[in-house]
Structure 1
Amino acid sequence: MSTRKESGSDDPIIERRDQLISVFENGEKPADRWKIGTEHEKFVYAKGDRRAPPYEEKSGIHTLLIGMTRYGWEPVYEGENIIALSGSDGTISLEPAGQLELSGAPLDNLHQTCAETARHLEQVKYVGDHLGLGFLGLGMWPDKTREELPIMPKGRYDIMLRHMPRVGTMGLDMMLRTCTIQVNLDYSSEARMAKMFRTSLALQPLATALFANSPFTEGKPNGFLSYRSHIWSDTDPARTGMLPFVFEDGFGYERYADYALDVPMYFVFRDGKYIDAAGHSFRDFLDGKLSVLPGEKPRLSDWEDHLSTAFPEVRMKSFLEMRGADGGRHGQICALPALWVGLLYDDAALDAAWDVVKGWSMEERQVLRDSVPRLGLDAPIGGGRQLRAIAGEVLDIARMGLTNRARLDGAGNSEAGYLAPLDDVVAKGKTHAEQMLDRYHGEWSGDVSRVYAEESF
């Protein structure tokens, strides 16, 4: 989740509707300036007893952040607490229970993205080794209860932790027990954004299946392949889901702004502190009628904050954010941007990908979304077919898109090589979650703790 800093003097009060739309319009870039921003989270654990370390303890999360400054990372404070780090490779931040996230810098190609990931992992492992900390690449804690997990000292999380149980049964699990990989992508126009949004939203369940990596809860199989994805089905229905309006004629910036305005607020950030506005209306804020800040109108940064509190399968800010994948290890972190860059950044690939999904009804898209956390590649896509029937085709389209981009590394390798972990899933016909379940029922003899040896970075 976003790490908030104080706004500058160029943070205007919102007086007109077109200022809301401008956030999306200002994201438009010509194709030769499109970037790739990759975000990935990982679980931090003490190697001795596999506890999730709290913020304050001697070899805890605060000490880990301090240790990372040896690589030039600059601390970001909230009050007296370091809650993030800023550097040339982006931002390192904390999720609610101490999951460590790298929000990478906007980069030109996948070779740079994968190298950035490798640098980050090398750094955290070096510091972690000195502190006795390890890092686990899964979509959900395989063995921890909510009660066993610490809470990080970030004001927005206090507000969200209070609010989540009011609106769903699994919001606390989302905050405390999950990790994800995401990629942020650019667009050149409103029309291009709409086509990218529709295509990626329809195919997001395929990404969920290909990256399914959360089959265990509290030490046992949970009946799902991506329990992380299932958790979103009962987190907060006002700010999650498949957004049927995206597929309607005329979808664009205005319609997404209307959706975001209807998402209830979480907070307002003022003078370095978060003010609880959970459940209040941003529309009231626009009219100066927000009860927690009576008479005050929002600034543009408040709108940008608010956009970051909607959690659909694909999210728009000044870029599009792909949100369907479980957390994973280095290969998966490189593979997610490869999938979406290949499908969405090349014209021919985007046309081909849209052709795959354009005939699906909204009902079929919703059934697929609801089924894929449990069934993975066996989820239905209509016509008596399963998701696995199109998985190879979609990967081939992504491969074509990456080949067409012709971004080669120093050894002459194309970006298409980063799809290899996904090719492996399709070739085996089993998600990574299913492969772990096979080991759990076989060589692991029902011992989930084996994931620490096999799935750590």
Structure 2
Amino acid sequence: MTTRTDDRASPLIESRDDLLSVFARGEKPAERWRIGTEHEKFVYRLADHRAPSYDEPGGIRDLLNGLTEYGWEPVIENGNVIALSGVDGNISLEPAGQFELSGAALENLHQTCAEAARHLDQCKAIGERLGLGFLGLGMWPDKTRAELPIMPKGRYAIMLNYMPKVGSLGLDMMLRTCTIQVNLDYSSEADMVKKFRVGLALQPVATALFANSPFTEGKPNGFKSFRSHIWEDTDPDRTGMLPFVFEDGFGYERYLDYALNVPMYFVYRDGKYIDVAGERFGDFLDGKLPQLPGEKPTITDWTDHLSTAFPEVRLKSFLEMRGADGGRWSRICGLPAFWVGLLYDAQALDAAWDLVKHWSIDGREKLRHDVPRLALEAVTPDGETMRDFARRVLNVSADGLTRRARLNSAGDNEGGFLDPLRDVVAMGMTPADRLLQKYEQEWGGELSHIYEEFSF
């Protein structure tokens, strides 16, 4: 989740146009489109697989401090190091200590994969010294909520208190899940709309290909992506497939109206998070927020608020693709490859839209609901298996990457980063299917082997 790294003063919001400007200022010509990749991983003690606390010797704070050896600068909240900033982006903490790199905005996927490799090498080097390992999955496979620590970030205390009031699985989302996301640009409002629609309609494909969370508290949970299922019962006011995105007239204005109706979590003032959970941003605009009577919001308050909506695709000054489980190194490279191939080539974008533009709202919702449990065995609104449909989508993405023609020093384009996803389709086995097979056969129902075989 977003971490504040800049406390500079921000202008007051004077009009609705100021709110819309956040979206409009994201518009960039194609030659300036960039790729921002975010990936999370679980941190555990090598000795006993326990999730380390923030304060303990060799814990999360020491891990953050250790990474400053590589030039990362600490971000402080209430005297605690809660994030790092550097040339490769930002490193931040999820609520239970999940470790996240929000990567820099890069020009091509070769750079993205090199960035991920640098980060993982640094983490492993410091982790080896501290006795820490890193697990690449979509959900803690064996931990109860009670076994997990809480990181000292003010916004998390507010969210942890609010989540049980609006859904039964929100705490699991915060404490027990990891994801890979990619942030992409658009050239205009019309380009944003088309990319948003394609991204939203095809998000279940990414969920199926990356499904990697089949265990809860040491046992199979009946899902391939339990992480994705969790979002179905987290908070209906800020999650989901956003049917209005496919309606005529969708654009910045309509997303603005949606975001204004998402209940607030907090306001950040003087280094502290003020609990305003459940309040309306519209009341804040009118100076009627009960916790800050008479005070009006700034642009930074608005961008903070935009980060607290969690639909399958999210608009800020870029588009975030949010449907994939966490995974190991090749999948960190594979997710941006999947979406860049589809969304950063005009021909591929048109072809992708042709695949899904006729689907009904009900059909999209059913696919979104079925995929967490069934993954490649789910059936699209056209009656095609997800496995066969994903193969076609991957071909469109590969063609887009070929036309992009971003080559590395060996003359390879970016298409090779799709190979792990092609393997999923060719074998008919998601990462979750492979885990379940090992659990039932090689591991004899003993899940602790997952730490040996599926760590970074």
In structure 2, how many angstroms separate the alpha carbons of the residues matched to 1:259 and 1:448?
42
Q: Alpha-carbon deviation of 1:386?
A: 2.0
| Distance across 2 between alignment mates of 1:385 and 1:103 | 35
Deviations 1:369-417 (A, max 9, x none): 0000000011121243222221111001000000000000001111000
Q: Which amino acid aligns with 1:185?
A: L
State the Cα distance separating 1:305 from its structure 2 match. 0.2
SS of the aligned residue for 1:77 comes to strand
Give the counterpart letter for 2:2 in structure 1.
S
Aligned-partner residue type, residue 275 of structure 2: D
**Paired amino acid for 2:159:** M
2:395 corresponds to 1:396: yes
Note if contact 1:96-1:175 (Cα within 8 Å) is conserved in structure 2: yes
Cα distance between partner residues in 1 of 2:214 and 2:323: 16
SS of the equivalent of 1:152 reads coil
Structure 1 CA distance, aligned partners of 2:114 and 2:429?
A: 28
**Structure 1 match to 2:98:** 99
In 2, distance between residues paired with 1:431 and 1:61? 31
TM-score by length of 1: 0.99
- Deviation per CA, 1:115-144: give whole Å up to 9, x if none: 000000000000000000000000000000
Corresponding residue number in structure 2 for 1:7: 7
Cα deviation, residue 12, structure 1: 1.1
Amino acid at match of 2:272: K
Between the aligned partners of 1:433 and 1:258, the Cα distance in structure 2 is 38
Are residues 1:185 and 2:184 paired? yes
The reply on whether 1:246 has 2:245 as its aligned counterpart is: yes
Letter of the aligned partner of 1:188 in structure 2? S
Aligned equivalent of 2:199: 200
Tell me what 2:303 maps to: 304
Matched with 1:109 is 108
SS of equivalent residue, structure 1 residue 187: coil
CA drift of 1:4 comes to 1.1
TM-aligned CA deviation for residue 6 of structure 1: 4.4
Shift of 1:16: 0.3
Deviations 1:55-102 (A, max 9, x none): 000010000001101100000000100000010000000000000000
Residue aligning to 1:213: 212
1:381 match: secondary structure: coil
CA deviations on 1:318-377 (whole Å, 9 max, x unpaired) are 000000000000000000000000000000000000011111100000000000000001
Please give the alpha-carbon distance, in whole angstroms, between the structure 2 residues aligned to 1:107 and 1:56: 34
Given that 2:116 and 2:329 are in contact with CA atoms closer than 8 Å, whether structure 1 keeps it comes out as yes
CA distance in 2, matches of 1:299, 1:124: 36
1:252-291 mapped onto 2 (5 Å cutoff): 252-291=251-290
Distance 1:105 1:265 in 2: 28
Equivalent AA in structure 1 for residue 346 of structure 2: D
| Match status 1:430 vs 2:429 | yes
Contact 1:138 1:328 in 2 (8 A): yes
Name the amino acid aligned to 1:176. Answer: L
**Map of 1:288-437 to 2, 5 A cutoff?**
288-437=287-436
Q: Aligned partner of 2:405: which letter?
A: A
Query: 5 Å matches for 1:62-73?
Result: 62-73=61-72
Residues 195-239 of structure 1, C-alpha deviations (whole Å, 9 max, x = no match): 000001000000000000000000000000000000000000000
C-alpha contact 1:208 1:376 (8 A) present in aligned 2: yes
Distance 1:388 1:202 in 2: 16
Supply the AA of the counterpart residue of 1:294. Answer: P
**Alignment check: 8 A CA contact 2:212 2:432 kept:** yes
Q: Counterpart in 2 of 1:222?
A: 221
Equivalent residue for 1:118? 117
Tell me, which stretches of 5 or more residues in structure 2 are unaligned?
none
Q: Note the C-alpha offset of 1:162.
A: 0.3
CA distance in 1, matches of 2:6, 2:283: 23
1:161-194 Cα shifts (integer Å, max 9, x gaps):
0000000000000000000000000000000000
Amino acid at match of 2:5: K
Amino acid at match of 1:97: A
| Contact 2:39 2:179 survives alignment (8 Å) | yes
TM-score w.r.t. length of structure 2: 0.99
Alpha carbons 1:6, 1:271 under 8 Å: kept: no
Deviations 1:268-319 (A, max 9, x none): 0000000000000000000000001000010000000000000000000000
**1:114 Cα offset (Å):** 0.1
Q: Which residue of 1 aligns with 2:78?
A: 79
Aligned to 2:162: 163
* Cα deviations by residue, 1:35-63 (Å, 9 ceiling, x for unpaired): 00000000000000000000000010000
In 1: Cα distance, 2:237 partner to 2:361 partner: 18
Task: Report the Cα distance in structure 1 between the residues aligned to 2:119 and 2:388, rounded to whole angstroms.
Answer: 36
Tell me, in whole angstroms, the C-alpha distance in 2 between the residues paired with 1:389 and 1:363. 21
Aligned-pair CA distance for 1:450: 1.1
* CA deviation after TM superposition for structure 1 residue 431, in Å: 0.8
Q: Could you tell me whether the CA contact under 8 Å between 1:288 and 1:296 is conserved in 2?
A: yes
Conserved 8 A contact 1:367-1:380:
no
Counterpart of 1:8, as a letter, is R
| 1:2 alignment partner AA | T
Q: The residue matched to 1:382 in structure 2 has which SS?
A: coil
Q: Distance in 1 between matches of 2:25 and 2:159?
A: 29
Following TM superposition, where does structure 1 have runs of at least 4 consecutive aligned residues deviating by more than 4 angstroms?
A: none
CA distance in 2 between counterparts of 1:3 and 1:240 reads: 20
Pairwise CA RMSD of aligned residues? 0.6
- The amino acid of 1:364's aligned partner reads G
- 2:231 aligned residue: 232
Other-structure match for 2:130: 131
Change (3 A) 1:210 1:263: same
8 A contact 1:6–1:272 mirrored in 2: no
- Separation in 1, partners of 2:5, 2:336: 27
The SS at the match of 2:417 is: helix
Aligned length: 456
Paired letter, 2:4: R
- Deviating more after overlay: 177-186 vs 444-453: 444-453
Q: Distance in 2 between matches of 1:98 and 1:331?
A: 23
Q: Is the 8 A contact 2:364 2:381 kept in 1?
A: no
